Amino acid sequence: MSMPSHARLEQAREAIRTADALLIGAGAGLSTATGLDYGGQRFQDAFPDFIERYGLTDMYSSAFLPFPTLEERWAYMSRHIQLNRFDAVPGELYTALTKLCRDREHFVITTNVDSLFFEAGFDRERVFATQGDYGLFQCATPCHDTLYDNQAAIAAMVEACIDCRIPTRLVPTCPVCAGPLAPHLRADGSFVENHQWHDASRRYQRFVERVQGGSIVLLELGVGYNTPGIIKFPFEELAARAPQATLIRVNRDHPDISQRNRDRTIAFGEDLADLLPKLLGEP
């Protein structure tokens, strides 16, 4: 990032303005920038009872905690899902991205499971949410690949939670095998990749194949090294092989530039919430 910030900003804005296609890669940093912070005061305000009982430190690690019972796990997870999926709103950053992509060739690949791209109005045919959706259940085994809308079930659990537990009757069970249901989140090898998931994956691959020969901007937003094989590394590969690609990376913690893509990467270590409106053309 040797170029001054203003010059980098102008260069990036020009690349976006003149691009034939936009490929957005969104990680957890985008959700954080829009207000879905998994730690700090937001976490403390939402989970004081669980923090006191279990010593929880943040929402991310808490989602993987081996709670003693399913009643306790779902008491936590239902509040987590309600807060980060059904109570979450897209906000100004997603509105700006929606405007940017309107009437333009575009696609979104995201590791976020909060569904905010869909809530912001993005076409479902142009979004590949690789890691699942908080708003869906799957069989935990899984014995089959059907996914189930969980909004009503989550609301009922949140309402019935007492002393960090829900009633046993509300613990979600699979209608096929009667075993436990789980959130549709990629945590291990049991994650369901059904036909909708594979259809989205194919649409993403077809988009990349179709546009890589033209002028394309790879807009990488808040993508760290938790799952770099999904967005970060493939974007580097695409930038290297697409002759007219520009990789724009916005990441406060990891604004690094690879040597092979040094001349076609514009990186920003500024706060995403502050930078993105400027990058997308707002004052």
pLDDT digits (tens, 9 = 90+) for 163-178: 999 999 999 999 999 9
- pTM comes to 0.95
Give the pLDDT of residue 282: 56
Better-scored residue on pLDDT, 1 or 164: 164
Can you give the three-state secondary structure of 219-265, one letter per residue?
EEECCCCCCCCCCHHHHHHHHHHCCCEEEEEECCCCCCCCCCCHHHE
Give the Cα separation of 254 and 109 in Å (integer): 19
pLDDT digits (tens, 9 = 90+) for 102-136: 999 999 999 999 999 999 999 999 999 999 999 99
Domain boundaries, the chain: 1-36+90-131+191-283, 38-87+133-185
Give the pLDDT of residue 283: 44
Average pLDDT, integer, range 260-282: 90
Q: Is the pLDDT of residue 4 over 70?
A: no
Residue pair 19/216 in contact (Cβ under 8 Å)? The answer is yes
Residue pair 250/28 in contact (Cβ under 8 Å)? The answer is no
Cα distance from N-terminal residue to C-terminal residue, the chain: 22
Distance of CA 62 to the CA centre of its chain: 18
Number of C-beta neighbours around residue 254 at 10 A? 15
pLDDT band at residue 23 using 50, 70 and 90 as cut-offs = very high
Residue 53 φ/ψ, nearest 5 degrees = -80, -40
Number of C-beta neighbours around residue 38 at 10 A? 18
Number of C-beta neighbours around residue 48 at 10 A? 10
Give the pLDDT of residue 3: 52
Give the pLDDT of residue 154: 98
The DSSP element (H or E) to which 95 belongs, if any, is helix 91-101
**Tokens 């002393």 -> residue:** 163
Average pLDDT, integer, range 201-213: 97
Percentage of the chain beyond pLDDT 70 is 98
DSSP string, 107-146: EEEE---S-HHHHTT--GGGEEETTEEEEEEEESS-SS--
Average pLDDT, integer, range 140-164: 98
pLDDT digits (tens, 9 = 90+) for 32-73: 999 999 999 999 999 999 999 999 999 999 999 999 999 999
DSSP string, 6-56: HHHHHHHHHHHHH-SEEEEEE-HHHHHHTT--SSHHHHHHH-HHHHHHH--
pLDDT band at residue 1 using 50, 70 and 90 as cut-offs = very low
Contacts 24+ apart (CB under 8 A), 257-266: 257/1, 260/236, 261/236, 264/239, 265/239, 266/8, 266/11, 266/12, 266/15
Q: Do you find a cis peptide bond into 228, omega within 30 degrees of 0?
A: no
Assign a CATH topology to domain 38-87+133-185. Answer: SIR2/SIRT2 'Small Domain' (3.30.1600)
Average pLDDT, integer, range 217-234: 95
**Tokens 């179709």 -> residue:** 210
What CATH number is given for 1-36+90-131+191-283 in this structure? Answer: 3.40.50.1220
Mean pLDDT of the chain: 95
Q: Is the pLDDT of residue 222 over 50?
A: yes
Percentage of the chain beyond pLDDT 90 is 93
